Amino acid sequence: MTLLSKIILYTDLILMGLLGIVIWGWQLLVLCGRAMKNPDGSVDDWHEQKILYGMALADLTIAVPVTLSGIILIFWGWGLGYYLTGLASFWWVWANVMTTTNSLRFEKPRITFVWFVTFPLGAVLGAIYIIWSIVHFEEIFRKLY
């Protein structure tokens, strides 16, 4: 694997891990019933929007733990981590594309750095990992077997 490929991988993993920890904390507050204001003016409040309860629960119990477990396994040198992180990346892309399009369609936000980090950044990081893993599929497959 080239140095550039390693830099892309480790940068993406570190950013996914940091964002995952932030998402975990945010969704925990939403799940506990706290209304959380977003940078586009919308509010994550499961008392008002029941779907956010399901999203928060899915993030807390599946998406973030699988992402962080995969990242830890990759840094420990276990091939299974690449697959776990790949699976979680599909969630990152879907969930963040959904929230980004809802924000753009219904809230008409000002596009700021904070808005970018809150909405589309997760989709970008997930897509980078998916593309990276497709390019390096043979190497990843050899690490597992």
In this structure, are residues 54 and 48 in contact, taking their beta carbons and an 8 Å threshold?
no
Residue 116 placed within a domain: yes
Residue 38 placed within a domain: no
Residue 44 placed within a domain: no
Residue 39 placed within a domain: no
Q: Which two tokens stand for residue 6?
A: 């390693």
In this structure, are residues 36 and 30 in contact, taking their beta carbons and an 8 Å threshold?
yes
Instruction: Give tens-digit pLDDT for 24-52.
Output: 999 999 889 899 999 999 988 888 777 76
Residue 78 placed within a domain: yes
Which domain covers residue 112, as residue numbers?
3-25+64-144
15-26 average pLDDT score: 97
Number of structural domains (the chain) is 1
In whole angstroms, what is the distance from residue 40 CA to residue 26 CA?
Answer: 16
Exposed (0-12), middle (13-18) or buried (19+): which is 56, by Cβ within 10 Å?
A: buried
129 Cβ partners below 8 Å, 6+ apart? 12, 13, 16, 85, 86, 89, 92
90 Cβ partners below 8 Å, 6+ apart? 126, 130
Instruction: Give tens-digit pLDDT for 64-110.
Output: 999 999 999 999 999 999 999 999 999 999 999 999 999 999 999 99
In this structure, are residues 91 and 55 in contact, taking their beta carbons and an 8 Å threshold?
no
pTM of the model: 0.91
What are the angstrom distances between the C-alpha of 56 and each of 12, 28, 42, 97, 130?
Answer: 23, 7, 16, 16, 23
Residue 52 placed within a domain: no
Q: With cut-offs at 50, 70 and 90, classify the pLDDT of residue 14.
A: very high
Provide the pLDDT for residue 45.
Answer: 86
Provide the pLDDT for residue 55.
Answer: 84
What DSSP string runs through 92-145? HHHHHHHHHHHIIIII-----HHHHHHTTHHHHHHHHHHHHHHHTHHHHHHHH-
Residue 80 placed within a domain: yes
Residue 35 placed within a domain: no
